[in-house]
A and B are shown apart, each in its own frame.
Chain A
Amino acid sequence: MNSTNRVANRLLVLIVGLLLVVVAAAAAAAVLIPTVRDAWKAIAGDVNAQVASWLQATPLGDTGVSWIMPAVLVVIVLAVILLVVFIVRQGRGHTRTVLSERTSEHGRTEVESALAANALEDAIGSRPEFIASHVSAYRVRRTPVLKIAVTCRRGVSPKDAADIVDDAVRALDELLGRPLPALVQISGGFRSRTGSSTRLQ
Chain B
Amino acid sequence: MSTTLAKPAPRAPDARTAAPTAPARASGPTFEPVYRRIIRRETHSPRSLVAIVLAALLILALAWVGTEIVIALLGAPALLVAPVDMFTSTVGLADAPAAIVAAAGIGAAVIGLVLVIVALSPGRRARHVLASERTAVVVDNEVIASALARHASFAGNVDPDNASVSVSHRRAVVHLTPTSGIPVDRDEVTAETERRLAGYGLSPAVTARVHIAESGRIGA
Contact residues of A with B, CB < 8 Å? 1, 4, 6, 8-14, 16-32, 37, 40-41, 44, 47-48, 51, 65, 69-70, 72-73, 76-77, 79-80, 83-84, 86-87, 90-91, 115, 118-120, 122-123, 140-141, 143, 145, 148, 152, 154-159, 161-162, 165-175, 177-179, 181-189, 192, 197-198, 200
Contacts of A183 in B (CB 8 A): 35, 38-39, 42, 135-138
Is B205 part of the binding interface, using a Cβ–Cβ cutoff of 8 Å? no
Q: How far is the CA of A185 from the CA of B51 in the complex (A)?
A: 24
B68 → chain A closest CB, angstroms: 10
In the complex the two chains form, what is the Cα distance from A25 to B160 in whole Å?
A: 54
Q: Is the CB of B66 within 8 A of A73?
A: yes
Q: Are A156 and B7 in contact (CB under 8 A)?
A: no
Q: Within the complex, which residue of B62, B115, B134, B199 is in contact with A20, where a contact is CB–CB below 8 Å?
A: B115
Q: Does B41 contact A (CB under 8 A)?
A: yes
Q: Which residue of B lies closest to A20 (CB)?
A: B112
CB distance from A68 to the nearest CB of B (A): 10
B106 CB contacts on chain A under 8 angstroms: 24, 28
What 12 additional pairs, Cβ within 8 angstroms, besides A17-B112, A27-B101, A197-B146? A6-B41, A16-B58, A17-B118, A20-B115, A28-B105, A51-B87, A158-B137, A162-B135, A166-B132, A167-B8, A183-B138, A187-B142
- Residues of B near A48 (CB, < 8 A) are 88, 91
The A interface, classified by DSSP as helix, strand, loop or mixed, is: helix
- Given A9-B46, A87-B55, A155-B146, answer yes or no on A31-B96 (Cβ-Cβ < 8 Å): yes
Q: Are B102 and A40 in contact (CB under 8 A)?
A: no
Majority DSSP secondary structure for residues of B touching A? helix
Residues of A within 8 A of B115 (CB): 13-14, 16-17, 20
List residues of chain B with CB under 8 Å of any chain A CB.
1-8, 16-17, 19-21, 23-24, 27, 31, 33-35, 37-39, 41-42, 46-48, 50-52, 54-56, 58-59, 62-63, 65-66, 69-70, 72-73, 83, 87-88, 91-96, 98, 101-102, 104-109, 111-120, 130, 132-140, 142-144, 146-147, 149-151, 154, 160, 196, 199-200
Q: Which chain A positions have C-beta within 8 A of B154?
A: 200
A51 and B88 alpha carbons, distance in the complex (Å): 10
Chain A residue numbers with a CB within 8 Å of B111 are 20
B167 to chain A, nearest CB (A): 11
Of the A-B pairs whose beta carbons lie under 8 Å apart in the complex, a sample of 7, sorted by A's number, is: A1-B41, A1-B42, A28-B105, A155-B146, A183-B38, A183-B42, A189-B142
Q: Across chains A and B, which 6 residue pairs bring their CB atoms closest together, nearest first?
A: A17-B115, A20-B112, A28-B105, A24-B108, A14-B119, A21-B112
| A23 partner, pick from B7, B108, B132, beta carbons under 8 A | B108
Q: Are A140 and B37 in contact (CB under 8 A)?
A: yes
Given known contacts A122-B2, A171-B5, A140 and B38 CB-to-CB distance under 8 angstroms: yes
Q: How far is the CA of A66 from the CA of B20 in the complex (A)?
A: 72
User: A90 CA to B34 CA in the complex, in Å?
Assistant: 20
A87 and B56 in contact, given A12-B51, A19-B112, A69-B83 (Cβ under 8 angstroms): yes
Contact A24 B69 (CB under 8 A): no
Contact of B116 (CB < 8 Å), options: A18, A154, A182: A18
Cross-chain contact of A182 among B6, B69, B87, B136 (Cβ < 8 A): B136
Residues of B with C-beta under 8 A to A6: 41, 46-47
Which of these, B2, B34, B69, contacts A181 with CB under 8 Å? B34
Q: A1-B42, A6-B41 are in contact. Are A28 and B101 (CB under 8 A)?
A: yes
- Take A21-B113, A122-B3 as given contacts and tell me if A10 and B47 are in contact as well, using a CB distance cutoff of 8 Å: yes
Q: Given that A17-B113, A80-B59, A155-B147 are contacting pairs, would A40 and B72 also be in contact in the complex, using a CB cutoff of 8 Å?
A: no
